[in-house]
Amino acid sequence: MKNVRVHPAPTLKGEIQVPGDKSVSHRAVMLSALSEGVSTLRGLLMGEDVLSTIGCFRELGVQVEIFPDRVVVHGVGLKGLRPPQRVLDCGNSGTTMRLMMGILAGQPFESRLTGDASLNRRPMERVAKPLREMGAQIEEFRASETERVVKVTGRPLRGIHYKLPVASAQIKSAVLLAGLYASGETGVEEGTASRDHSERMLRHKGVALEISGGRIRVRSGQSLKAEDLEIPGDISSAAFFLVGGAIGKDSQILLKNVGVNPTRTGILEVLQAMGAPLESLNLREIGGEPVADLRVRSVSLRAARIAGALIPRLIDEIPILCIAAAAAQGTTEVRDAAELRVKETDRIAAMERELGKLGVKARGLPDGIDVAGPATFQAGDFESGTDHRVAMSMAIAATRGPKASRVLDVDCVQTSYPNFFEQLQSLGGKVELES
């Protein structure tokens, strides 16, 4: 495991382009593999999570070529996947495992999926349940808490109408993907809107979906067309520098080509509610996804309440929003976010622990956290808990410290933002890598 030493850098200035959106990148690889023909993907996130998705499809007989400036996927169609010869390794990627379960549920062969110790602790039954209702056979085998294999025995599927028990794009996507193989119509109903990247990309690839009033319906017997795609920048990655710029001193950062899908822009709404001067420039559309350039400047922030329908639209950004809250006047309250307890780590417990080291009063709750500010940030040795979002959040916090801090176990950053520390340095940060 590598550690980094982050020196104070109160002023961050410059222009960067964040890596491709992780959620869109996963779906671009998956749907291109299931398309009829060759697709060229540009701007694809080449982090470990997306590489896990690519590896799984290679094991299923899909040719994927990786070049410095593009990834070329030779689609095999919905019925062209081959039985894997070994267990499919999903690494640390919950998106890979959960969406693959939906795809594999309708295949005429057996597949086995596993992941690293962190992924193998994360719940999969919430995906298995609707897939079993469709006719799939899914079993989970455990040798220990951190050793798990999910066996998916593909069967003829039947369409169902499923009401999501929690707002989850991954459950929704798994059911819709299985619906491409199921007889009749498959419908998903969500009480609170979750990210809609799967629906947008399916439509972009020629699949007819009916979307109305929180209900999404798809019928089997459709094919996906191959096409070239450009992947927008990841707003979850941009969030670190949006906060870094907002809490800095005389900071100004321009983030180019960031995806601003309305199901993901909760981070922008919260920062604006906290008083951050955000600008969205050059709004346009790429591959069915809205994109803009985002500019942020430093300002004195005020506390906010983050709860309800906002949560699914910024669930991954809550760790870095805790850092914004620590710099803000008043107590920021996060509620309705129990899902944070079952992410790569228990993010509520992790942020409560690390904020304490930072000199911030924070109180974890079953479904959220209270963060009191403004705090005078302290230096320290901050633990990632092998969670990429915790690691990057504490690195941004360290730029406001009185002296150098260390962030421990930062290899995990490779899952979503391989050049994070390089870009931090390009904006004026000073980072030293320790082996």
Confidence check: pLDDT of 330 > 90: yes
Residue with tokens 């193989």: 181
Same fold, 3-20+233-434 and 22-219+226-230: yes
**Strands of the sheet with 368-373, listed across from one edge:** 305-306, 330-334, 368-373, 361-365
Catalytic residue selected from 49, 293, 316, 387: 316
For residue range 334-370, list pLDDT tens digits in order: 999 999 998 888 999 999 999 999 999 999 999 999 9
The pair of three-digit structure tokens given for residue 90, joined into one six-digit string:
């999903």
Q: Would you report the helix, strand and coil content of the chain in percent, each value rounded to 5?
A: 35, 30, 35
Q: How much is the pLDDT for 343?
A: 85
Token reading at 11: 């002023």
Q: Are 417 and 47 in contact (CB under 8 A)?
A: yes
Looking at residue 25, its pLDDT comes to 97
Q: What percent of the chain has pLDDT over 70?
A: 100
**Residue 225, Cα to own-chain centre: how many angstroms?**
25
CA-to-CA distance for 400 and 10, rounded, in angstroms?
Answer: 5
Would the pLDDT of 1 be above 90? no
Mean pLDDT of 314-321: 96
Map tokens 């382009």 to a residue: 17
Domain residue ranges in the chain: 3-20+233-434, 22-219+226-230
Contacts of 375 (CB under 8 A, 6+ apart): 326, 327, 358, 359, 360, 361
Residue by residue, DSSP assigns 387-407 as -HHHHHHHHHHHTTSSS-EEE
Residue 404 burial (CB count, 10 A) = 14
pLDDT at res. 114: 98
What band does 94 get if pLDDT is binned at 50, 70 and 90? very high
pTM, whole model, 2 decimals? 0.91
pLDDT of residue 73 exceeding 80: yes
* pLDDT tens digits, one per residue of 75-87: 999 999 999 999 9
Mean pLDDT in residue range 313-325: 97
Mean pLDDT of 36-64: 97
139 token code pair: 């079993």
Largest CA distance in the chain: 62
pLDDT at 287: 78
Q: What are 362-408's pLDDT values in tens digits? A: 999 999 999 999 999 999 999 999 999 999 999 999 999 999 999 99
Provide the CATH number for the domain formed by 22-219+226-230 in this structure. Answer: 3.65.10.10
Alpha helices in 318-358 (DSSP H): 318-327, 347-358
CA dist 218 and 177 (Å) reads 9
In this predicted structure, the answer to whether residue 435 has a pLDDT above a threshold of 80 is no
**Mean pLDDT on 48-63:** 98
Is residue 433 scored above 90 in pLDDT? no
Read off the pLDDT of each residue in 246-252 and give the average, rounded to a whole number.
96
pLDDT of residue 43: 95
In whole angstroms, what is the distance from residue 255 CA to residue 315 CA?
A: 21
Q: What is the pLDDT of residue 193?
A: 87
381 belongs to the catalytic site: no
For 137, phi then psi, to 5°, come to: -110, 115
- Tens-digit pLDDT profile for residues 95-142: 999 999 999 999 999 999 999 999 999 999 999 999 999 999 999 999
Q: How confident is the model at residue 245 (pLDDT cuts 50, 70, 90)?
A: very high
The domain over range 3-20+233-434 is classified in CATH as 3.65.10.10:
yes
pLDDT bin (cut points 50, 70, 90) of residue 286 is: confident
pLDDT digits (tens, 9 = 90+) for 138-186: 999 998 988 999 999 999 999 999 999 988 999 999 999 999 999 999 9
